[in-house]
Structure 1
Amino acid sequence: MLPPYWVRRVFLIPLMLAVSLFAVVTSPVTLLLAAVAGLVIPGQGSRPVRVTVLVIGYLAAEGVALFALAGLWVAAGFGRRVREPKHERRHYVCVQTMLRWIFWMVNHVLHVRVRVEGPVPEAYRDRPLIVFSRHAGPGDSFLLVHALMDWYDREPRIVLKDTLQWDPAIDIVLNRLPTRFIRSGAPGRATVDEAGRPDAETQIGELARRLDHNDALVLFPEGGNFTARRRARAIARLRRRGLMAEAAKAEAMRHVLPPRPGGVLSVLENAPEADVVWVAHTGTDHLLTVADVWGALPTNLDVRMRWWQVPAGSVPEGRDERIAWLFEWWREIDDWITVNRVAEGQREVA
C-alpha cells in the first residue's frame, strides 16, 4: 500500500538522501568487498561487482536528482509556477539526464545492445503520438521513455502504477509533469474510486487531451509485466466475463498478456489527432525475477525493438472495431516476438 503524500515527503525523501550519501561515501569499501566476494565464492565471478556498481550508480543518481528537483522547485517560485511551460521543460531535462545516466551505466556494466527497427525519427516529426507498448522484463519502461526523449525528442506523458511513487525522485518529478499514477487494481468502470478520484479510464483520457507536436502519451495496455501466470489469470478473467472471442485470441498469443481495451479506447477518443505507435521489444523476456537477473550475470543482452506508426486517419471508428483492431495489433506484436525472441540458450556470456 502506498503511504500518504506527507509521509513520502517527510520520511522517504530524507531516508533516500541518507541512503544515497552513505552508498557514495562507502563505495570504495563496498566495491572492494564485492570484488573479494566474487573471488572467494565459487561461481560468482564479476556478479557482485557489477550489481554493486549498478546499485551505487542508481542511488547516486537518485540523490543528485532530489537536489536538482529541490532547486527547480525554488526556481519555480517554490512550486507556484511549476506547471508553466518553461519550468515543465526543465523537469523534462532533469528526467532525460537521469535516464541518460542510467542507460549509459547499464550499457557499460551489463553490455546491453539495443537495436531499433521501424520508421526513422524524422517520420514522427511535428506529430502528436500515442505510444502503446508491450510490458515485459525489468526496465523496459525506462528504455522506452529514454528512447522517446533522447532519440525522438519527445515530452512523454506516462500512465504508471501508483506504487512507483515509493521512489522519491520518480514521485516528485512525475507528479510535476503530465502523468497519471493509476492505483493498482483500480476499477475501470466506476465513476470515482473510494478516494473520490476519477476512475482509471477517465484519468487516462484526461491525460490524452491537448497533445501538442512533441508530446507522446505512453500506455502499456497489458497493465503489468508479462508472466505465464498472469497470462493464465488474464485469460481466465476474460472467460469469467463471457468474452470468449477475446479469450480465444489471447490463448493464441504466447508472449503477451491480453490487452485491456478501456485505457486504449479512452486515449483514442480523447486524442483523435494523434498518430498511433505500436512498440514491441524482446531481449529481457527471461529476466522476470531478481534471481533471474542474478543468474544471467555477466551477460551481453541484445535488446530488439520494433516500432510501427499508424496515421491518425487510419485508426478505425467505433468501440467494437477499435477493440478488434487492438487485438489484431497485439497479435502482430506477438508474432514479431515469436520470430525475434532470443532464446535463453542463445545468450552470449561475457
Structure 2
Amino acid sequence: MSILRRAVTAPVVVLLTVLVWVTLPLWLIGAAALSPFVPGHWRALRLTWLLVVALTAETLLLAVLLGTWLASGLGARLRTAYWEGVHYDLVQGTMWLLFSEARRVLHLSIVTEGPAPDAHPGEPLLVCCRHAGPGDSFTLVHALMDWYDREPRVVLKDTLAWDPVVGTLLRRLPSRAISPGSGEDLEAQIAALASDLDRDDAFVIFPEGGNFTQERRDRAIERLDGLGLHAMARRAETMIHVLAPRPGGVLAALDAAPEADVVMVAHTGLDHLLTVRDLWRELPMDKQLVMRWWQVPREEIPRGREERIEWLYDWWQRIDEWVEQHRPEDLSPGRRARR
C-alpha cells in the first residue's frame, strides 16, 4: 500500500513543481498584488516563495532518494550503517536549507534554551515534546540534528507518510508511522524503536498523541472521566495549552531504553497551524520563537508505573505553565523601530 501511495504522490509532487516554476512569474505578480490586502508585511509574496523552495527541495530529494536506491543495489543495502548515515545527512542538509530560507524570508528567529549541545556526551536520549502544529516535528528534528548532533528516531502519525519524501525516509531510517485507534500494539512498536539506542541516538515521541486543539483537549478530559480516572481528568483541566499526555508510549520507551536520560521540550509560536488556512493566517513572521529543553537524569525518574505516570503529568503541567509565560516576541520592522 505504501509503495503504491508513493508511486502516485511522487509524480504529482514533481509535476506540481514543474508547473509552479513554469508559471512562477504569474505566481509572484499575483502574490505581490495580493500582499497589501492581507495581514503581515508582504505575507503572500513571502509564503509563495517558501512554497516554491519547499516543492523544489522535495522534488530534488525525490531524485536523490531514487539515486540512493539504485546505488544501494536496488535497495538491498539500504539498511546498512553506511546508507543510514547517508540518509541522515540528506535529512540534515534539507532541514538546514529550509530553515535557513525560512529565517531569511520570514525574519524568523528560533532560540533554544536549556542544556548545551555537549550536555549529553555519549548518552542516548528519550525526547518528549509538546505537540502543537505540524511544524514542531520538523523544528525538533532540525534542532536535534543541527544543534545537538543527534540521529533522531521518530514516532509520527501515519498521515505524514502521505508525503512521498517523508514516507520513503520513514521506511529507510529507524522510525515508526503509527495509526492511533487501528488496533495495532502501538506500545510494542514504540518499545522496539526505542531499543538498542546508540550514543548519538535520540528517540523522539509526542506524548499527547496529536496536535493541540481545544476540541481534542475537551475529548481527552472526557476520555479520562469515561475511564474512571477522575483525578487525572481534573489535572488535565488545569492545563490549558497542552493535551493530557498519554503515558503508554512514554512508559514503553522508558522500559526499552533503561540507560537513557530524558529530555523534555516545550516551544511557542507554532500553535494552531493545523490547516492551509491556519498557515496562511497564523504562520509566524518577524518573530522570535523559543524552544525550551530540560534534561532529566535517569536516576530522577521513578521506577513504578503509577509513579511514572504522576511524574509525566507533573512535567506536562510544568510545560503548560512555561507556554503560558512565553509568547513569540515580535521582531517586525515597526516593532523594532518603536524599540
Fold equivalence (TM over 0.5)? yes
The answer to whether residue 62 in structure 2 is matched with residue 73 in structure 1 is: no
Name the SS of the counterpart of 1:132 in structure 2. Answer: strand
Q: Using the alignment, how far apart are the partners of 2:215 and 2:6 within structure 1?
A: 35
> Which amino acid is 1:8 matched to?
R
1:1-350 matches, cutoff 5 A: 4-38=1-35, 41=37, 46-187=42-183, 193=184, 199-285=185-271, 287-296=273-282, 299-342=285-328, 347-350=330-333
Report the alpha carbon displacement of residue 116 of structure 1 after superposing the two structures with TM. 1.1
Q: Using the alignment, how far apart are the partners of 1:44 and 1:300 within structure 2?
A: 9
Cα distance 1:92–1:311, how it changes in 2: closer, same or farther (>3 A)? same
Query: What per-residue deviation string (whole Å, max 9, x for no partner) do you get for residues 216-260 of structure 1?
Result: 000000011111111111001100010111111111111110000
Name the SS of the counterpart of 1:136 in structure 2. Answer: coil
Where does residue 190 of structure 1 map in the other structure? none
Q: Report the more deviating stretch, 137-146 or 293-302.
A: 293-302
Q: Using the alignment, how far apart are the partners of 2:138 and 2:255 within structure 1?
A: 27
Report the alpha carbon displacement of residue 42 of structure 1 after superposing the two structures with TM. 7.2
Name the SS of the counterpart of 1:12 in structure 2. Answer: helix
> Which amino acid is 1:232 matched to?
D
> Which amino acid is 2:14 matched to?
L
- Alignment: residue pair count: 333
Identity %: 50
Where does residue 337 of structure 2 map in the other structure? none
Report the alpha carbon displacement of residue 297 of structure 1 after superposing the two structures with TM. 6.5
> Which amino acid is 1:16 matched to?
V
Unaligned runs of 5+ in 2: 334-339
Q: Using the alignment, how far apart are the partners of 1:57 and 1:117 within structure 2?
A: 29
Is contact 2:269-2:284 (8 Å) kept?
no
Report the alpha carbon displacement of residue 335 of structure 1 after superposing the two structures with TM. 1.5
Is contact 1:163-1:184 (8 Å) kept?
no
Is contact 1:275-1:309 (8 Å) kept?
yes
Q: Report the more deviating stretch, 100-109 or 168-177.
A: 100-109
Q: Using the alignment, how far apart are the partners of 1:328 and 1:112 within structure 2?
A: 31
Is contact 1:135-1:222 (8 Å) kept?
yes
Cα distance 1:298–1:28, how it changes in 2: closer, same or farther (>3 A)? farther
Name the SS of the counterpart of 1:225 in structure 2. Answer: coil
Unaligned runs of 5+ in 1: 188-192, 194-198
Report the alpha carbon displacement of residue 288 of structure 1 after superposing the two structures with TM. 4.7
Q: Using the alignment, how far apart are the partners of 2:38 and 2:263 within structure 1?
A: 47
Cα distance 1:151–1:14, how it changes in 2: closer, same or farther (>3 A)? same
Name the SS of the counterpart of 1:140 in structure 2. Answer: helix
Cα distance 1:163–1:287, how it changes in 2: closer, same or farther (>3 A)? closer
Cα distance 1:228–1:29, how it changes in 2: closer, same or farther (>3 A)? same
Name the SS of the counterpart of 1:316 in structure 2. Answer: coil
Name the SS of the counterpart of 1:303 in structure 2. Answer: strand
Name the SS of the counterpart of 1:100 in structure 2. Answer: helix
Cα distance 1:236–1:23, how it changes in 2: closer, same or farther (>3 A)? same
Report the alpha carbon displacement of residue 90 of structure 1 after superposing the two structures with TM. 0.1
Cα-Cα RMSD = 1.8
Report the alpha carbon displacement of residue 314 of structure 1 after superposing the two structures with TM. 2.3
> Which amino acid is 1:248 matched to?
R
Query: What per-residue deviation string (whole Å, max 9, x for no partner) do you get for residues 256-277 of structure 1?
Result: 1000011001000000001100
Where does residue 336 of structure 2 map in the other structure? none
Cα distance 1:297–1:319, how it changes in 2: closer, same or farther (>3 A)? closer
Is contact 1:23-1:60 (8 Å) kept?
no
